[in-house]
Amino acid sequence: GLNALLEDIDVVVVRARVQDGGPLVLIGHSFGGLLAIAYSLKHADHIDRAIFSAPLLMVKQRVPAWKRALSTVLPRVAPGMSFSNEVDANLLSHDPGNASAYTGDPLVHDRITAGLYGDTIARGEEFIARAPQLRIPFLLMQGRDDQVVDPVGSQRFFARAVAPDRAFCLYPGLYHEIFNELDHEKVFQDIESWLTQRTNGQLTGWNPPP
């Protein structure tokens, strides 16, 4: 489950803090973005800032009815059972080369266990509700045309947040993997601007939810 993964992240964070000693920024994308939020809530004193890219707070993809029904049952009776995550590589970014690299990567697979799937779905709503508890500065980044993660989840999370120096970038026309989009330069530019200045006026994607 998520707790075991958070322990692994903490090992790396603590080691990085000891070895480097400078400001420590945790960044996570998609499921990693969900983990980054979870870690920031649990170990806010271990990091200085965080960047959440398309965090998996709400699923955009249409989940088959049988999978939705079993998501509350299988984690209890067969947590190790796996099934497809339904991710279409062609909807990750507008760069055709990215889809080919994704499907051709031997370290990429489309399986997710029932236990992890159920835990992920439940935690998304939990973390949106707990957004006011997040106290470290964070940058939330989201493609508005994301076909994997629902941008509404990111909007709801940010709308509830009260952390200092928080910023939200919503990019029209960009899909899920904003770092691999054809127009990715502005995304990295916003990260640099936020890390060095942390002023919303310097962010090209700055677009807070109403």
One-letter-per-residue 3-state SS of the chain: CHHHHHHHHHHHHHHHHHHHCCCCEEEEECHHHHHHHHHHHHCHHHCCEEEEECCCCCECCCCCHHHHHHCCCHHHHCCCCEEECCCCHHHCCCCHHHHHHHHHCCCCCCEEEHHHHHHHHHHHHHHHHCHHHCCCCEEEEEECCCCCECHHHHHHHHHHCCCCCCEEEEECCCCCCHHHCCCCHHHHHHHHHHHHCCCHHHCCCECCCC
Residue with tokens 């998609």: 30
Alpha carbon distance 161, 6 (integer Å): 21
**Residue 82 annotated to the active site:** no
Catalytic residue, candidates 53, 119, 176, 193: 176
**Residue 146 annotated to the active site:** yes
Catalytic residue, candidates 30, 53, 154, 193: 30
Residue 194 sits at φ, ψ, to 5 deg, of: -70, -40
Catalytic residue, candidates 146, 150, 154, 193: 146
**Which residues are identified as catalytic?**
30, 146, 176
